Amino acid sequence: MLSIGVLALQGAFREHINMLERCGAKASALRLPPDPEAPLGGLDRFDGIVLPGGESTAIGRLLNVWKLMEPLRKCAFSGKPIYGSCAGLILLCRDITGPDGQPSDQPRIGALHACVRRNAFGRQIDSFETTLNIKGVADDLNAVFIRAPVITSADPDVQILAEVEAGGSSCPVAVRQEKLLATSFHPELTNDGRLHSYFLEMCR
């Protein structure tokens, strides 16, 4: 059975844990400070890691406070499978801009070779659901967008799995770069486990 660590500092981590367990994995809340004597700060015990949604700036600060940022960064750059949803996507990206397009200096892991714009669709009231065709996953996956980001640019090694219309153009909202998976939306808030199953296959 695969063992998945779900970052549990803020956000919908319980929903991710429930979905992963429904898909047949052992999922554990990850919030303790790292073990300096263990490889990757002890994160080596997980087959994969999930970074949930929430407030990306707050999560980034907490990662630094709890000294988890560097172990997670080492995991990401060493090839351990990591899935980030919404705020998790933002944390994974190399470059981050605010809703106005201005660069942000907020803490990040920075392993995903892409630039992301926060709150690209507007405020909480502008949240929405839509059906997406996600390459390799499903052609009818229900996606929940809540104050969601979008990828504004990406290097050639980033595979675009799904896009939506934003600001008059088509923007990536699901991407994969080797063992990194990231989505703008929240699959854990639906009853559809196909995206989590796809991530688990990445972890095998």
pLDDT of residue 68: 94
Let me know if 113 is a catalytic residue: no
Query: pLDDT of 57-109, one tens digit each?
Result: 999 999 999 999 999 999 999 999 999 999 999 999 999 999 888 999 999 99
pLDDT of residue 168: 76
Let me know if 196 is a catalytic residue: no
pLDDT at 126 over 70: no
Let me know if 115 is a catalytic residue: no
pLDDT at 136 over 80: yes
pLDDT of residue 120: 85
Of the pLDDT bands very low, low, confident and very high (cuts 50, 70, 90), residue 35 is: confident
Out of 23, 113, 188, 196, the active site residue is: 188
pLDDT of residue 125: 61
Out of 15, 16, 115, 186, the active site residue is: 186
Give the residue, 38 or 46, on which the prediction is more confident.
Answer: 46
In 101-131, which positions are buried (b, 16+ CB within 10 angstroms) versus exposed (e)? eeebebbbbbbbbbbbbbbbbeeeeeeeeee
Out of 15, 23, 75, 86, the active site residue is: 86
pTM: 0.95
- Report how far residue 4's alpha carbon sits from residue 19's, in angstroms, rounded to the nearest whole number: 11
